[in-house]
Amino acid sequence: MQIDLSGRTALVTGSTQGIGLAIATGLARAGARVVVNGRGEERVADGVRTVRADSGSDDVTGAVGDLAAEQGSAAVLKAVPTVDILVNNLGIFGTAAALEIDDAEWRRYFEVNVLSAVRLIRAYLPGMKERGWGRILNLASDSAVVIPAEMIHYGMTKTSLLAVSRGFAKDAAGTGVTVNSVIAGPTHTGGVEEFVRELVGNKLPWDDAQHEFMVKYRPQSLLQRLIEPEEIAHMVVYLASPLASATTGGALRVDGGYVDSILP
């Protein structure tokens, strides 16, 4: 399978680390011109250098902006007025007792995880439709379907992204633009390592801590290990390609079999 994204511009939000960085690298390897996004100039510059080194591509730039705020979104849109591939990867997560999540925290999670994506879709989708080609991919989570008791505010935002993806796919019907969400399972990132430690403690070696986390908190996983970021990126790169032209309005799972369903 040959994936060639030469001539396409891709913006990956929240791509200075973790899954976003892996996606940016994968798209660059496939030939896309990639824009790395983050809130700080130094971290974005580091991300650009990493993607260039790991992909072998020099066609990688950065766009600094906090997409959870209108001002930050405006800065990114000014720096990158047109894209062919939009990957809404930006997201935050954390544990909280359900009855202790106040209104401000509910709003913060929605602003970062959902509204940041909606703003960019509103901005970029019209141009994609006019040009007759485009890919919009929203990074969801198994938590969209299997709401974790310890972070229902996070799960709510990822469920919302499934609805956002399906709705905008209908808006783009018949235009050559596809809109999909990717349901990522428990993935090995720096943030998840911290999350695992919050739940199982710091005494165990990492391999043992990871195993205990999967057995105790994610026993549904058929993979029985954390997913590597590159494994998520492989799905995103495929969906961003011309090869996925008949896939739209979908929620594609890269969850290690975590969601107990025979449907995608």
Q: Which residues are catalytic?
A: 154
CA 26 to chain CA mean position, Å: 13
Q: What is the rounded CA–CA span in Å between residue 66 and residue 116? A: 9
Do residues 48 and 22 make contact, with C-beta atoms less than 8 angstroms apart? no
Using only C-alpha atoms, the chain has a radius of gyration, in whole angstroms, of 18
CA atoms within 13 A on the CB side of 31: 11
Query: What's the chain's length in residues?
Result: 264
User: What is the rounded distance in angstroms from the CA atom of residue 9 to the CA atom of residue 60?
Assistant: 10
